[in-house]
């Protein structure tokens, strides 16, 4: 699997647009800044929804009203964040593919997506008049807590991608190289 991911990353790295984006004086910085700004928009809205479900914010406003109001800006931010995230990966594919932080971030994104689907399903299926209660039912509070945890860890891992503590060329052979997806005899670009 690591060899397949590495070969894909090397193939992406051969594209002129990838090189141009990475070496651009302004464009890479604009993409990265947009990624961070839309991350703040998306997570700001999501965290308010999660905090409402936990009974820590806006307890006098119905939970579904908060979710409906903040859903659109959250999804706009999420869409732009995903597009810019793909562009950031495309700009430096080999380094990202062989980063333990990037790999952890991808696993956490999958976990956050599964949690979001389950949260949405639980919210639409829940019955009763919990909407005006100060706290949501236990299953929704669990989903909100997991959401806050997953996204906080995603942000931390995303920030750590910029650092090369566990990159292939700097670590001794062992577990960290295996987890980073290092290919013996191959160097990063």
pLDDT digits (tens, 9 = 90+) for 146-171: 999 999 999 999 999 888 666 676 66
pLDDT, tens digit, 9 for 90 and up, residues 106-162: 999 999 999 999 998 888 887 677 888 888 899 999 999 999 999 999 999 999 988
Q: Mean pLDDT, the chain, as a whole number?
A: 89
Number of domains in the chain: 1
| Exposure b/e, 134-158, CB count within 10 A at least 16 = b | ebbeeebebbbebbbebbebbbebb
User: Has residue 80 been placed in a domain?
Assistant: yes
Domain span at 72: 2-180
Q: Which residue is listed with tokens 């236990």?
A: 138
Q: What is the pLDDT of residue 21?
A: 94
> What is the C-alpha to C-alpha distance for residues 178 and 168, in angstroms, rounded to an integer?
9
CA 127 → CA 47, 50, 118, distances in Å? 23, 19, 16
CA 133 → CA 48, 61, 80, 101, 137, distances in Å? 16, 9, 34, 39, 9
The whole-number average pLDDT for the span 72-86 is 96
Q: What is the pLDDT of residue 30?
A: 97
Q: Which residue is listed with tokens 């597009």?
A: 83
pLDDT, tens digit, 9 for 90 and up, residues 24-44: 989 999 999 999 999 999 999
User: Has residue 185 been placed in a domain?
Assistant: no
CA atoms within 13 A on the CB side of 116: 18
User: Has residue 188 been placed in a domain?
Assistant: no
Contact 98, 6 (CB under 8 A): yes
Quickly list H helices, 24-163.
Answer: 27-54, 63-91, 93-97, 100-125, 138-160
Q: What is the pLDDT of residue 181?
A: 77
């Amino acid at each position: 699997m690591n060899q397949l991911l590495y070969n894909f990353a090397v193939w992406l790295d051969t594209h002129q647009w990838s090189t141009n984006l990475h070496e651009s004086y302004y464009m890479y910085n604009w993409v990265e800044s947009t990624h961070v700004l839309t991350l703040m928009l998306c997570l700001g809205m999501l965290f308010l929804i999660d905090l409402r479900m936990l009974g820590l914010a806006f307890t006098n406003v119905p939970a579904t009203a908060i979710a409906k109001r903040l859903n659109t800006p959250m999804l706009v931010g999420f869409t732009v964040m995903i597009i810019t995230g793909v562009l950031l990966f495309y700009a430096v594919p080999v380094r990202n593919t062989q980063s333990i932080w990037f790999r952890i971030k991808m696993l956490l994104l999958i976990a956050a997506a599964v949690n979001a689907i389950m949260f949405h399903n639980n919210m639409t299926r829940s019955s009763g008049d919990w909407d005006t209660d100060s706290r949501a039912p236990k299953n929704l509070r669990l989903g909100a807590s997991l959401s806050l945890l997953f996204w906080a860890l995603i942000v931390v891992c995303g920030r750590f991608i910029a650092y090369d503590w566990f990159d292939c060329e700097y670590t001794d052979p062992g577990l960290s190289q295996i987890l980073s997806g290092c290919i013996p005899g191959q160097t990063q670009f």
